[in-house]
Amino acid sequence: MHYHFQSCDPIDETVMIRAMRRCPRSDSNRNSYWLGFGIGVFEGAIFALGMIALAHVLIRLTNVSSQIPGTVVPLLGALLAILVMKLSARKKLALHVRRMLLSPIYKGNMNFDLSSDGLDMSGSNVKWSVSWPAIEKVTDDRDAIFFYAGAFSYVLPKEALGEIKAGDVLKAVEGWRNQGAAT
């Protein structure tokens, strides 16, 4: 059995962002995850101190400092830091995905071939070939099927499936993946 799909439309930015957010963290990249986490904590602590100082200045400028207990200023600063960091991370990911999707790699039609050998994706400027043992996870999303190999996310838009049901494709993929794991 072999599936061939073609997507004439570019991959939707929000779908790609969703795929990248759901990318699993495997044992093979656990050290890099903890390093990234440590750097994020350090960055967050520095940012929180800055926000605490900003909150302190703002409260003094509004002349309400005598009415606010001393613990409110650090909490307000820390909450501001968390809010700004979360929004910043979302914006950075969206900008990264936008730049990625505007690159020549994603121009033109994308072809998707799924067979017992693996997943092949190709476009006018690129060709990816990933065997099933390298695919760590397959996820059924409302708009696409996501394939994960390490830190890479491959997106097969469901509109490219045409008349073929996503469940049938997923069942075949699971069979191929299980067959590859057994060998």
List, for residues 38-89, the tens digit of each pLDDT value: 777 787 778 777 877 777 777 777 776 666 666 777 777 777 778 887 888 8
Q: How confident is the model at residue 10 (pLDDT cuts 50, 70, 90)?
A: confident
Q: Are residues 69 and 129 in the same domain?
A: no
User: Considering 72, 102, 132, which residue would you say is the last residue of a domain?
Assistant: 102
Q: Are residues 8 and 72 in the same domain?
A: no
User: Considering 69, 102, 135, which residue would you say is the last residue of a domain?
Assistant: 102
H or E segment at 94? helix 72-102
- Structural domain span for residue 140: 3-24+107-182
Q: Are residues 111 and 177 in the same domain?
A: yes
List, for residues 94-120, the tens digit of each pLDDT value: 999 999 888 888 888 899 999 999 999
Interhelix angle 72-102/30-61, nearest 10 degrees: 130
Q: Are residues 16 and 47 in the same domain?
A: no
Q: Are residues 178 and 111 in the same domain?
A: yes
Q: What is the pTM of this model?
A: 0.74
Burial class (CB in 10 A: 0-12, 13-18, 19+), 137: middle
| C-alpha dist (Å) from residue 51 to 76, 90, 124, 127, 183 | 8, 19, 48, 46, 55
Q: Are residues 73 and 122 in the same domain?
A: no
Instruction: Kindly report the CATH number assigned to the domain that includes residue 12.
Output: 2.30.29.30
Q: How many helices (H) and strands (E) does the chain have?
A: 4, 7
SS3 of 117, please? coil
User: Considering 102, 121, 138, which residue would you say is the last residue of a domain?
Assistant: 102
Q: Tell me phi and psi for residue 128, to 5 degrees.
A: -115, 140
Q: Are residues 121 and 156 in the same domain?
A: yes
Give CA–CA dist 139/73, Å, rounded.
Answer: 43
- How many structural domains are present in the chain? 2
Q: Looking at residues 114-133, what average pLDDT do you find?
A: 93
Q: Are residues 42 and 72 in the same domain?
A: yes
Residue 123 near residue 103, CB atoms below 8 Å: no
